[in-house]
Amino acid sequence: MKLIKKQIPLAIVLVFGVLTLVSYYVPHKLSVDYIETMNKWENIVAAFAFLLGLVSLFFSHYYKIKRKADGWGYSLFVYVGFLAMVIPAFIWHGKQTSELGMTSLGWAFRYIYNALSASMFAVLAFYIVSTAYRSFRIKSAQAFVLFVAAFILILGKVPLGQIIWDSVLGWTGQGVDQVIEWIMGVPAVAGKRGIMIGIAIGAIVTSFKIIFGIEKQYMGKD
Amino acid sequence: MSETWMIAGAWLAAGLTVFLFSFLYKDNPFFKIAEHLYLGAGMGWWFQVYLYNIWEPKVWKPLLNYDWTVLIPSILGLSLVTQFIPRISWISRYGFTFMMGYGAGLAIPAGLSTDFITQIGGTIKPLSAMASSTPPAIFNSLLVAFGVICVLFYFFFSVEHKGAVKRVSNMGIYFLMIYFGAAFGNTVMARFSLLYGRFDDLYTFSAGQYLYATQFIIVGMIIYFALHGFLTKGKKEAEAAH
């Protein structure tokens, strides 16, 4: 049983990990075909992984309704929202437009999903402002640098900010656009590169640990 | 789509937008309805995306053409669903290990080429072309190289941060702060551009051709909050009197 439960899954990781890694560096038709096939397979498995999340969500809200838990009525709207997107998708075979114009799927996307999604993220703008107030309380030289970088970025992207910059700092001969370009292209790039190099090293080491079975927490217990 | 559908859509979009924004005042049933609807609609949208972009063309159609190889990833994928049955949940390991193995094998060359070698190359390359560069470009190249080294020192924990190492790693914090500040500023502006988009939609739907959807919904919400506040206040006063 240990073979089926543990050793074969670990062998799958090793085989697919090594083959994928080697295929990337071997310029042969076989390796190109292998990567293409695996990419397709990965898409299929990932689609089923989505199904796992969907079933889990449905179960969780179903039990909430069944137990008449607090706020169970809201759970019904999860199913309403799901059906509002899926039924038009079945009718129009996933097409948002047809020769007649916008389909009911396009309508549902435009007036339900897009409206909800954009509003949900737009609400965050208000919370970001309150976070900015807290984070911009300058307590150290490092916090001051963060504040200045963020302030210039925000200032330079609104017309009023550009007018203020030109009237106050116009004598320097540098427009706020040029300053933003320099910040994004020089000091911010240095910070970003340091982080990216660190992340890359971490990701590579973790990947090797996964391939060779040193890291296997994703397999769960037992 | 007929004009009636457009008007219905305007009322729905304006309503859902106002319901979500109402959370800024306080938590309320309308916000919770919109929140749950968003969850369901999001799952519905992605379900149909996977259905018509993956399951149908990459699983169903090949099977109709007797391409049985697609059964392997399908079975690996279906194995994930055994997570719901504790007695046989170990079967899901087959699907997970395939994804982990393939993902790890792909992450190594991708991380090496894009995040590691390209970033180091981007830092060093301008230095090799200094002879033909202008003084500001030389300064910028040196500053980037200096900043990258300082940031890497900040993340290097194999030596104790004291003396010269501490000074260099402290300089790294300044470069990180500039990056974080710039990233924060960009995030704020991205969120605000979404907000302008929502306001623009609300303004559009406030027109006569949409039967003043925005105004009616906002007034309705104000009446709800006023009535709710009035009734709750009455209840609280009665409870306090007891």
Facing residues of A97 across strands? Answer: A102
List chain A residues with CB under 8 Å of B122. Answer: 193
Residue A102 forms beta bridges with which residues? A97
Best of B48, B53, B144 to substitute, by most chain A Cβ atoms within 10 angstroms, is B48
How far apart are the CA of B219 and the nearest CA of chain A, in angstroms? 19
Whether the CB-CB separation of B181 and A191 falls below 8 Å is answered with no
Asked if residue A10 belongs to a domain, the reply is yes
| pLDDT, average across residues B170-176 | 95
| pTM beyond 0.90 | no
Supply the pLDDT for residue A162. Answer: 87
CA distance to A57, A218, B52, per residue, from A68 (Å): 16, 34, 35
Structure tokens at A33: 């075909």
**Hey, are the CB atoms on A194 and B148 less than 8 Å from each other?**
yes
- Does residue A8 fall inside a structural domain? yes
Is A180 part of any domain?
A: no
Q: Is A136 in the B-facing interface, judged by CB distances under 8 Å?
A: no
**Which band of pLDDT confidence, cut at 50, 70 and 90, is reported for residue B96?**
very high
Work out the number of other CB atoms within 10 angstroms of the CB of residue B142: 13
Contact residues, chain B, for A77 at CB < 8 Å: 33, 36-37, 40
Sequence-distant (6+) residues with CB within 8 A of B205 are B10, B11, B13, B14, B213, B214
Closest in B102, B111, B185 to A149, CB measured: B185
Domain contains A16: yes
The C-alpha of B37 sits at a distance from chain A's nearest C-alpha, in angstroms, of 5
Task: Please list, in sequence order, all residues whose beta carbon lies within 8 angstroms of the beta carbon of residue B81, skipping any fewer than 6 positions away.
Answer: A48, A51, A52, A55, B92
Long-range contacts of A138-144 (CB under 8 A, 24+ apart): A141/B174, A142/B173, A142/B174, A142/B177, A143/B177
Residue A85 lies in a domain: no
Q: How many CB atoms lie within 10 A of CB A181?
A: 12
ipTM given for this complex: 0.87
pLDDT confidence band for A143 (50 / 70 / 90): confident
Phi, psi of A137 (to 5 degrees): -75, 105
Report the 10 Å Cβ neighbour count for B75.
14
Q: Would you tell me how many other CB atoms lie within 10 Å of the CB of residue A63?
A: 12
Looking at the 3D structure of chain A, how many domains does it have? 1
Task: Give A205's pLDDT tier (boundaries 50, 70, 90).
Answer: very high
pLDDT digits (tens, 9 = 90+) for B11-27: 999 999 999 999 999 99
Rounded average pLDDT over B72-92? 92
Q: What is the percentage of chain A residues whose pLDDT exceeds 70? A: 99
Asked whether A202 and A215 are in contact (CB, 8 A), the reply is no
Q: What is the pLDDT of residues B108-163, one digit of tens each?
A: 999 999 889 999 999 999 998 888 889 999 999 999 999 999 999 999 888 888 89
Alpha carbon distance A85, A81 (integer Å): 7
Question: Regarding beta strands A97-98 and A101-102, do their DSSP bridges make them parallel or antiparallel, or are they unpaired?
Answer: antiparallel
DSSP string for residues in chain B: --HHHHHHHHHHHHHHHHHHHGGGT---HHHHHHHHHHHHHHHHHHHHHHIIIIIIIIIIHHHHTT-GGGHHHHHHHHHGGGGGSGGGGGGHHHHHHHHHHHHHHHHHHHIIIIIIIHHHHHHHHHHHTGGGS-HHHHHHHHHHHHHHHHHHHHT--SS---THHHHHHHHHHHHHHHHHHHHHHHHHHHHHHHHHHHHHHHHHTTSGGGTTHHHHHHHHHHHHHHHHHHHHHHHHHHHHH-
For residue B237, the distance in angstroms to the closest alpha carbon of chain A comes to: 25
**What is the reported pLDDT for A213?**
92
Helix (H, G, I), strand (E, B) or coil at A75: helix
Using 50, 70 and 90 to split pLDDT, how confident is the model at A222?
low
Task: Flag whether A210 is in a domain.
Answer: no
Structural domain of residue A8, as residue ranges?
A: 1-69
Mean pLDDT for B85-99 is 92
Query: Is position A170 within any domain?
Result: no
Q: Which residues are CB-neighbours of B218 under 8 A, at least 6 positions away?
A: B18
- Is residue A13 in some structural domain? yes
